[in-house]
Amino acid sequence: MRSTPTMARRPSGRTRSMRIVGVAIVVGTMLVAGCGSDGDRGDLAGVPGPDEQLEPSEWVARSVKGEDVLTRFPSVTLRFDREGRVDGSSGCNQYGGTYEIEASAIIFVVGPTTRMACEEAQGRQELRFFEALEDAAAFEIEGDELTLRDADGIEVASFEAA
């Protein structure tokens, strides 16, 4: 006995419209549920999260890798924007890059820098500064002070708000 193939029935216009409306309701509900959420911050809703404390802002370095910043040269600065970019001055050259934050963890990726000749002391300070950004794994803000720490919790740089 041979079976005859059955043809798949196309949904009627009304059935198809109902499916589209159903999908739209589900997607819309998911979008609305996600909008305006501060994540799972509970009682902290309305209190700025760590990334909101950094964006946009500019910080001036006080110490880098255990040494005070040299004051006879231009300031060493760190400026954050809302798009995840960072830039500033290393005390000799200008630099740019990106940063990512999750809770109090931070990762910097230093990108292009200018290549001006620096005095020897400036060059050493610049090298320490870029090493500090590379080593930074966490940050904390207390008042007008920003501290970057490595993965072991050791301070690699401290800044004050500009």
Number of separate domains in the chain: 1
Distance CA 8, CA 90 (A): 69
* Residue 114 domain flag: yes
* Residue 38 domain flag: no
Q: Residue 7's pLDDT is what? A: 44
Residue whose entry in the numeric block shows the structure tokens 């600065």: 77
Answer for the pair 133, 110: CB distance below 8 angstroms, yes or no: yes
135 pLDDT more than 90? yes
Alpha carbon distance, N-terminus to C-terminus of the chain: 87
Q: Residue 86's pLDDT is what? A: 96
**Which CATH number covers residue 103?**
2.40.128.270
Angle at 70 between CA 69 and CA 75, to 5 degrees: 75
Over residues 43-83, the pLDDT tens digits come to: 434 434 445 667 768 999 999 999 999 998 999 999 999 89
pTM over 0.95: no
Q: Residue 54's pLDDT is what? A: 79
Q: Residue 1's pLDDT is what? A: 52
With a pLDDT cut of 70, the percent of the chain lying above it is 66
